[in-house]
Structure 1
Amino acid sequence: MLYKALHASGQSRNYVIQDLALPYATAEEFINYTADSFKIWPLWLCPLRQTRLPTLHPHNPEMEADGKTLKPMLNVGLWGFGPSQRDAFVAKNRELEHKLRDLGGMKWHYAHTYYEENEFWKMFDRKWYDGLRKKYHAESLPSVWHKVKVDPEDAKKADNSSWGKWALQFWPIGGIWGLRKSIESREYMIARNSTWKSKKGSGEGR
């Protein structure tokens, strides 16, 4: 229900949803940067075992002492409100991407991605990826970069595509609209009517 309200309100367009993986050696510096620049708390911290290369998952080439095992990374979840103005929001995300790259980190692909195509493929093995596309006859489909990138100009046009979407940018209009749409969806009834809940007098679930 809250998820429905967030998206219906239009506030998700100004919401930072980033999962970022870094080497342990630079994680503290990155967290200090996010604290100063974004002021979003709390953060989600989770140890991350690296996927064997080649991969489209976050990775770093640092090895353990055995020279065979990739060192673990730390996943940092940065979730909270960013700048409300579209250009400032994009600039902040680009700043985050640059800082992440400087510290040897990478982001997960479901996060907002603003990399230019050449920037994106510097992080991944494109020859390997294109080989997979050819092997599975997927060359006519959009590449992973096309699927995950955010076009700032398209996003700005979407914000102003109608007076209604434009108005949602202003509080409390967006919040009231989001609450209304979430109630109308009746998604709260899903949990209320869950079959796993015991029925009154049936003795189920005991």
Structure 2
Amino acid sequence: MRVTYTPARGTLRELAQAYTDSFAPRDGDPKKVPDFVETIVYTPNTAVLMTGRYASEEEARRRGNVINGVGWWFKPWFYQHAETALGRSGEFVEYVPTREYYHRHTRALFWEMKLILPFGDRWWCRWLLGWVMPPKISLLKVTQGEAVRRYYHDMHVIQDMLLPQHKVADALEFLHTEMEVYPIWLCPHRVFKYPMKTMIHPEAGFELNQRQGDTSFAQMFSDIGVYYAPGPVLRGEAFDGSEAVRRLEEWLIRNHGFQPQYSVSELTETNFWRMFDAAHYEHCRKKYGAVGTFMDVYYKCKKGKKTEEEVRAAEAAAVAEVANAEKND
């Protein structure tokens, strides 16, 4: 994989535009579109744009080319390695073995390991213990108590959001105001237009606007990943994680955004179906007799501060309410 690291500086809006330009050339030249794209926003004024193109081993081994096996246990964590681009005079290129590129964020769990094991990025820890990274997430969850889980919920952010590409700059500014979490991960995602309306769908009439990255058959979205402790928490200031997530979810609904449900969610059932289109889903549930038999997708996903038992009790109450309404009809 031929990986190009390009430093970027400016306002959040300028960084968002540089990110868009990295994979959606303004002249529409398909030869300029890379195979892989990501951007890491390190501060409100700095980011590193990364693009990857498949390359042969022969090309990688040509004289003068740099091969970097980022997957070795003793290597610096990838996000920290990429950040070194900000200290250089311009972009730089290196060749990364394809499989190691796919797993570039695995050892550090993006940058979450810095919170889990603060000294894990030190050279001596990487040399001695880097081979055991990362710890198994399921093991970490099993060993944490309810008090720790609730504290983590309030004092930590783990969110992904999918929203139209032209809204990325607005999202970065909103996140800075509401959460102030850095680094932020950006990755493009194309949402196709289908004959029927799916739960995740493009904006109505997007094909008429033809914004940067859009085509007649798909709208360009971006996944924005926010994983770390918020600035107020790091500074010892007050921070209400649940309320911040609620405001984020409301903002996403207003801006045609979608929240992957593996992240922390405070969506009410009403807001969940404001975010996701339920028409096709409900049609299938009724057609195949799933109502009252299988748990509704909202209750499969809804956690927030609720325990599993509380979620199941809420779902049972909702099913009973529907059954009573149908009986009265």
> 1:184 maps to which residue?
none
Q: Which has the higher contact order (CA 8 A, sep 6+)?
A: 1
Q: 1:37 to 1:56 in 2, by over 3 A?
A: same
Q: 1:46 corresponds to which residue?
A: 187
Residue 245 of structure 2, aligned match among 52, 75, 93:
93
C-alpha change, 1:59 and 1:148, in structure 2 (3 Å) is farther
Provide the residue aligned with 1:177 in structure 2: none
For 1:18 and 1:57, locate their aligned partners in 2 and report how far apart those are by CA, in whole Å.
Answer: 17
Q: Which runs of 5+ in 2 are unaligned?
A: 1-134, 234-238, 311-329
What SS does structure 1 have at the residue aligned with 2:225?
A: strand
Considering only aligned residues, what root-mean-square deviation do their CA atoms show, in Å? 3.1
**Kept in 2: contact 1:15–1:81 (CA 8 A):** yes
What secondary structure is seen at the aligned counterpart in 2 of 1:101?
helix
1:63 Cα deviation from its structure 2 partner: 2.0
Preserved contact between residue 202 and residue 219 of structure 2 (Cα < 8 Å): no
Match of residue 60 from structure 1: 203
**Percent identity of equivalent pairs:** 25
Q: Which has the higher strand share?
A: 2
Q: Does 1:3 align with 2:137?
A: yes
* TM-fit CA distance, 1:57: 3.3
**Shift in CA distance, 131/102, structure 1 to aligned 2, threshold 3 Å:** closer
The size of the alignment, in residue pairs, is 155
Q: Is the 8 A contact 1:16 1:79 kept in 2?
A: yes
Go from structure 1 to structure 2 and tell me whether the alpha carbon gap of 1:62 and 1:72 turns closer, same or farther (over 3 Å shift): farther
Q: Alpha-carbon deviation of 1:80?
A: 1.4
Deviation at residue 29 of structure 1 after TM alignment: 1.2
Q: Is residue 2:128 matched to residue 1:128?
A: no
- The C-alpha deviation readout for 1:140-172, integer Å capped at 9, x for no partner, is 2111111112254x35x99xxxxxxxxxxxxxx
Cα offsets for 1:100-135 (capped at 9, x unmatched): 223331211222222221222123332321111133
Q: Give per-residue Cα distances to partners, 1:29-76, cap 9 Å, x unaligned.
A: 111121232121111111111143522336433422489523111110
Confirm or deny: 8 A CA contact 2:200 2:277 kept in the other structure.
no
Moved more, 10-19 or 21-30: 10-19
Query: Is the contact between residue 258 and residue 276 of structure 2 (CA under 8 Å) also seen in structure 1?
Result: no
Q: What TM-score, normalized to structure 1?
A: 0.62
Q: CA separation in 1, counterparts of 2:264 and 2:282?
A: 23
Whose radius of gyration is greater, 1 or 2? 2
Supply the distance in 2 between the matched residues of 1:104 and 1:123 (Cα, whole angstroms).
7
Aligned 8 A contact 2:191 2:219 in 1:
yes
Cα distance in 2 for residues equivalent to 1:46 and 1:36: 21
